[in-house]
Amino acid sequence: MGSPMGDDRFLAAVAAALESDVLRRQRLGGGDVADSSQLELADGRVVFAKTHAAAPPGCFTTEAAGLEWMRATGAVAVPRVLAVSDGGDPEGAGPEGAAAEVPNFLVLEWIEEGRPTAATEAELGRALAAMHAGGTQCFGRPDRRTTGSRGLPNEPCDTWAEFYATQRLLPLARLARDCGALPEGVIGRLEGLAARLDAVGGPPEPPALLHGDLWAGNRLVDIAGRSWLIDPACHGGHREFDLAMMRLFGGYGEACFASYADRSPLAPGWQDRIALHQVAPLVVHAIKFGGGYVGAATSAIGAYR
C-alpha cells in the first residue's frame, strides 16, 4: 500500500490523465504486485487503475502495449487502455523535487465480473486459436521490451528454439544459479535442454502472438459470460506455450482446449511437449517462491534428459 501522500499524487495524476476528478476509490485485492483500485469518476465512468511503488522501468507502458497488441487482433476481448504512465521525475524538477515524483499507473475500462455460461470455455478456445493464428513479426518482441517481474529478454529471434533457449531457458538458468534457487545439477540439465530444443520441440511453427502468462487469474469472465484477457507478458512465441501455461495451474475447462484443437490442431506429439513449455514458468516460480516449485521444475526439466 502506498503512503497517503503517494495516494494523493496517484489519484491526482489519474484525474489529470482522464480529465475527470476521482470521487471514490475502492481498493481491490488479489494482486501480489500492484496496488489496484476501482475508481468512480465525476463524469460517471467507473475504471480500473493500478500503481506500483517500485515498478521496474517501463512496466506499465509495456503492459499497455501488450494489451493493445492483443486487442488489435480483434480475436480476444481485452480491456481498453484509458491512460498509462511509467512515472518519473516531473519536468524541470531537481533533487529537491524528488518528493513530487510523478507516480506510475495504468487505467483500464472496468469489466464487471460475472459467471461462466455453458459456452464460455469453447468461445475462449476459438478466440485464442484465432489470436495465435494471426501470427506476429518474430519470436520475441519487435520493440525488444522485457517482460515479467524478472525482466526476461525478448530480443527478436528467427526460430522458436533460438528464442526459448536464448531468451528464456539460459537467462533463467543464470538467475537460478545467482540466487541458488535450483541445485547445480538441475541447472546444468536446464542448460543442456536449451541446446537440444530442435530435437525435442516438435516441428517448426511460425511465431504466434502469445498472452505469455495465461494462468486462470489473468482471465476475467464478464456478466455475459465472455472471457477477457488481462495482465499479459506478450511476445511472439510457440502457441503451445500459452496452452501449457493454462494447464499448469488449472482453471480452464476441457471445452476450451477442445474448441482450440478444432479450430487450430496442434502438431503430433504435443502432449509430450506440455512439460517442455512449462519449464520456463516453473523455474520462474522456483526463483521467486522456492518450495514445491523447485521439485516441479526439476521434474519438468528431467523429462527431457
210-231: per-residue pLDDT in tens? 999 999 999 999 999 999 999 9
Find out whether 67 and 78 touch, Cβ atoms under 8 Å. Answer: yes
pLDDT of 268 strictly over 50: yes
The mean of the pLDDT values for the chain is: 93
86-122: per-residue pLDDT in tens? 987 544 444 444 445 779 999 999 999 999 999 999 9
71-91: per-residue pLDDT in tens? 999 999 999 999 999 987 544
Delimit the CATH 3.90.1200.10 region(s) of the chain: 120-302
For residue 6, the model assigns a pLDDT of 61
Average pLDDT over every residue of 163-178: 98
pTM listed for this prediction = 0.93
Per CATH, domain 4-109 is 1.10.3720.10: no
Find out whether 204 and 160 touch, Cβ atoms under 8 Å. Answer: yes
Query: Which residue of the set 35, 86, 213, 231 is catalytic?
Result: 213
For residue 257, the model assigns a pLDDT of 98
DSSP symbols for the chain: ---HHHHHHHHHHHHHHHTS-EEEEEEE---SSSEEEEEEETTS-EEEEEE-TTPPTTHHHHHHHHHHHHHHTTSSB-PPEEEEE--BPPTT--GGGGGGPBPPEEEEE---B----TTHHHHHHHHHHHHHHT--SSBB-TT---BTTTTB----BSSHHHHHIIIIIHHHHHHHHHHT-S-HHHHHHHHHHHTTHHHHS-S----EEE-S---GGGEEEBTTS-EEE-S---EEE-HHHHHHHHHHS----HHHHHHHHHHSPPPTTGGGGHHHHHHHHHHHHHHHH-THHHHHHHHHHHTT-
pLDDT of 32 strictly over 70: no
Average pLDDT over every residue of 49-69: 93
For residue 163, the model assigns a pLDDT of 98
For residue 94, the model assigns a pLDDT of 45
For residue 55, the model assigns a pLDDT of 84
What kind of architecture, by CATH, is found in domain 120-302? Alpha-Beta Complex (3.90)
Catalytic status, residue 242:
no
**pLDDT category, 57, cuts 50, 70, 90?**
confident
pLDDT of 4 strictly over 80: no
